[in-house]
């Protein structure tokens, strides 16, 4: 009995040490988060999913849609790179190797940014975005999820719940099929991004907060976020778009965005070519 007690204590100590060593802070919010997934693994997962999704999708040939996505994406990418440099986050936020694509799917109201800055916009969300500023709301929010490592965080939570705190590499060795299923839930690997595990309310709030500041730093008026989410709320009564299945709207959420605007506006300097 004594041996089993000591073994139990050892296991608790190992798990506690793993959890402690896996804790990091989210940029801007300072929230402690559990990360059992390395940056290298997260980047590899992001690249794998992105390449898989792009290879199976019909890419848009619409020059206006492609130009708009590249224009907005590039400005936000520059703002993110500057934000990381100004706040000395290079050691905690891996370098983004940006890619932008537009997927020709007018029925899919969605967009995503995977680890490493792998961005895709579905044409179905463009009528809701309406213009550059509206698209900046969408992309800044999605980029904020990547900057805050929310995908790695929820995968870590799944690993902890299913295996009692292990690294991704260990889980893949011991339970490859089950771990692949967890990857699908957290990142949508090898599947349509519409089946992503929904972000929790705290992660959504952080992405709203960080996204407002990123778009403001890129020269887009963060007040456009209210108009965009109100447009999304208006179409929520019909069939729920993919974007709303993973980014649910609440009146509290819109109110929180309103309260965060004064902080974001401190970073806002209009750019002449903003559309």
Grade residue 184 by pLDDT with cuts at 50, 70 and 90.
confident
User: How confident is the model over 83-96, as a mean pLDDT?
Assistant: 82
pLDDT at 132: 97
Q: How many CB atoms lie within 10 A of CB 158?
A: 20
User: How confident is the model over 86-115, as a mean pLDDT?
Assistant: 89
pLDDT at 206: 94
Six token digits for residue 69: 């996505």
pLDDT at 186: 84
Decide if pLDDT at 15 tops 50: no
Q: Is 142 a catalytic residue?
A: yes
Q: Which of 99, 142, 204, 242 is catalytic?
A: 142
User: How confident is the model over 56-63, as a mean pLDDT?
Assistant: 96
Decide if pLDDT at 3 tops 60: no
Question: What is the pairing mode between strands 99-103 and 32-34?
Answer: unpaired
Q: How far apart are CA 249 and CA 272, in angstroms?
A: 31
- Classified as helix, coil or strand, 204 is helix
Q: What pTM value is reported for the model?
A: 0.85
Quick one: which of 142, 127, 132 has its CA closest to 232?
127
* pLDDT averaged over every residue in the chain: 84
């Amino acid at each position: 009995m004594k041996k089993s007690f000591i073994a139990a204590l050892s296991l608790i100590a190992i798990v506690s040490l793993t959890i402690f060593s896996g804790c990091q802070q989210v940029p801007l919010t300072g929230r402690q988060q559990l990360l059992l997934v390395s940056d290298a693994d997260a980047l590899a997962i992001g690249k794998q999913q992105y390449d898989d999704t792009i290879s199976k999708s019909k890419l848009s040939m619409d020059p206006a849609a492609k130009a708009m996505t590249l224009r907005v994406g590039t400005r936000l990418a520059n703002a993110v790179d500057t934000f990381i440099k100004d706040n000395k986050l290079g050691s905690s936020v891996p370098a983004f190797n940006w890619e932008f694509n537009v997927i020709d799917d007018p029925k899919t109201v969605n967009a995503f940014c995977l680890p490493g800055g792998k961005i895709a916009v579905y044409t179905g969300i463009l009528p809701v975005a309406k213009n550059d500023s509206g698209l900046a709301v969408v992309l800044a929010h999605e980029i904020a999820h990547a900057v805050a490592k929310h995908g790695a965080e929820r995968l870590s939570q799944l690993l902890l719940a299913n295996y009692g705190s292990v690294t991704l590499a260990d889980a893949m060795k011991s339970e490859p099929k089950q771990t692949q299923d967890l990857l699908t839930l957290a990142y949508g690997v090898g599947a349509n991004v519409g089946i992503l595990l929904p972000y929790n309310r705290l992660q959504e709030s952080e992405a709203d907060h960080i996204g407002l500041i990123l778009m403001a730093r890129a020269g887009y008026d963060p007040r456009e976020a209210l108009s965009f989410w109100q447009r999304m709320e208006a179409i929520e009564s019909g069939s729920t778009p993919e974007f709303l299945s993973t980014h649910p709207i609440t009146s509290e959420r819109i109110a929180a965005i309103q309260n965060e605007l004064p902080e974001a506006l401190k970073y806002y300097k209009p750019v002449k070519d903003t559309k």
